[in-house]
Structure 1
Amino acid sequence: MADPVEIERKFLVARMPDLGDARRSSLRQGYVTRPEDSVEVRLRQTDDGHVLCLKSGEGIVRGEREVTLSAAQFDALWPQTEGRRIEKTRWTGPLDDGLVYELDVFAGDLAPLVMVEVEFPSEEAAARFVPPAWFGRDISDDKRFRNKALAIAGAPQPDDDADG
């Protein structure tokens, strides 16, 4: 059986869209793994519950496994993420072709960063995707914009090298 994968492209947001059809949720997530670790282990609390996620790989196709946690399990592990946390408001809404966007408005030290991600059923669909006008620069391959990197190093400066 193949490992579950996530095929995702990520963009900065050029301008905020109409969020009238979007669903809002609050997220906080922290990273158990250290910057030098090749596998990412993340805890996430949302309005809906608690999850432990393991991610591996590079680029737009990455391995991803999630395990639901109880609130007590989450609370027991959360202290291990000290210094490697982010908070954001996520807006989830429809795009053309049945796709869904997840727009993240970061809080705290990462404000005013706003990014949007889209998951795809295949690499071909990801390659064919034409982003709406409100999407900004494609940062799918820029490691500085991974949530783990943001939690550890903060938001990249606008004049930083875009290749990451």
Structure 2
Amino acid sequence: MEIERKFLVKAEPDLGDATSVAVRQGYITRPGDSVSVRLRQKGAKFLLTVKSGEGLVREEHETRIEHGIFETFWPATEGRRVEKTRWTGALPKGETFEYDVFEGYHSPLRLVEVEFESRKAAEAFIPPDWFGTEVTGERAYSNEVLATEGLPSETAR
């Protein structure tokens, strides 16, 4: 299970001790399917993820796969991909943030996500000043919709 809140980014953060990794991901399924099947390369790791549900709490199952398997299925994601740099760091109260800087067609989009252990913790979270408008559960800001439909009109170039 994944409990996560997602926000636009209002101001570039001080990334301090945050680490970064290049991410490319593509979707085998299409928006509107009851589940989402995603391939992701995160640095040297290759992952297959199945998600279902919408909003704050979603089901998520992820497994590591071998590079050859990733390459076998990657062509099936043509036209349904995003590339980004993901920065991971700690917020002042100890929560972990994932700050995504989208590249290519999806530039200049910036999103930040925070995952939680419980719904109660998620609902009690007070975002720092550099977080912008909350977009949790907004379909247009899901990576799958970004990969297939592009940027929402309010963030388009």
Q: For this structure pair, what is the TM-score category when the shorter chain's length is used for normalisation?
A: over 0.9
Q: Does 1:52 align with 2:64?
A: no
For the residues of structure 1 that align with 2:92 and 2:44, how far apart are their CA atoms?
26
Task: Quote the residue 2:112 is aligned against.
Answer: 116
Structure 1 residues 14-41: Cα deviation after superposition (integer angstroms, max 9, x where no partner): 0011112100100000000022311000
Task: Quote the residue 2:16 is aligned against.
Answer: 20
- What does 1:7-156 align with in structure 2 at a 5 Å threshold? 7-156=3-152
Q: Compared with structure 1, are the counterparts of its residues 75 and 21 closer, same or farther at alpha carbon in structure 2 (3 Å cutoff)?
A: same
Equivalent AA in structure 2 for residue 75 of structure 1? E
Residue 120 of structure 2 aligns to a residue whose secondary structure is helix
Q: For this pair of structures, how many residues does the alignment match?
A: 156
Q: Is the 8 A contact 2:49 2:63 kept in 1?
A: yes
**Offset of 1:58 from its aligned partner?**
1.2
Which 4+ runs in 1 deviate beyond 6 A?
Answer: none
When normalised by structure 1's length, the TM-score is 0.92
Q: Is the 8 A contact 2:9 2:110 kept in 1?
A: yes
For the residues of structure 2 that align with 1:150 and 1:84, how far apart are their CA atoms?
8
When normalised by structure 2's length, the TM-score is 0.96
Q: Is the 8 A contact 2:109 2:155 kept in 1?
A: no
Q: Is the 8 A contact 2:7 2:111 kept in 1?
A: yes
For the residues of structure 1 that align with 2:79 and 2:87, how far apart are their CA atoms?
25
Matched-pair identity in %: 53
For the residues of structure 1 that align with 2:142 and 2:31, how far apart are their CA atoms?
12
Residue 49 of structure 2 aligns to a residue whose secondary structure is strand
Equivalent AA in structure 1 for residue 51 of structure 2? K
Segments of structure 2 that go 5 or more residues without pairing to the other structure are none
Q: Compared with structure 1, are the counterparts of its residues 159 and 67 closer, same or farther at alpha carbon in structure 2 (3 Å cutoff)?
A: closer
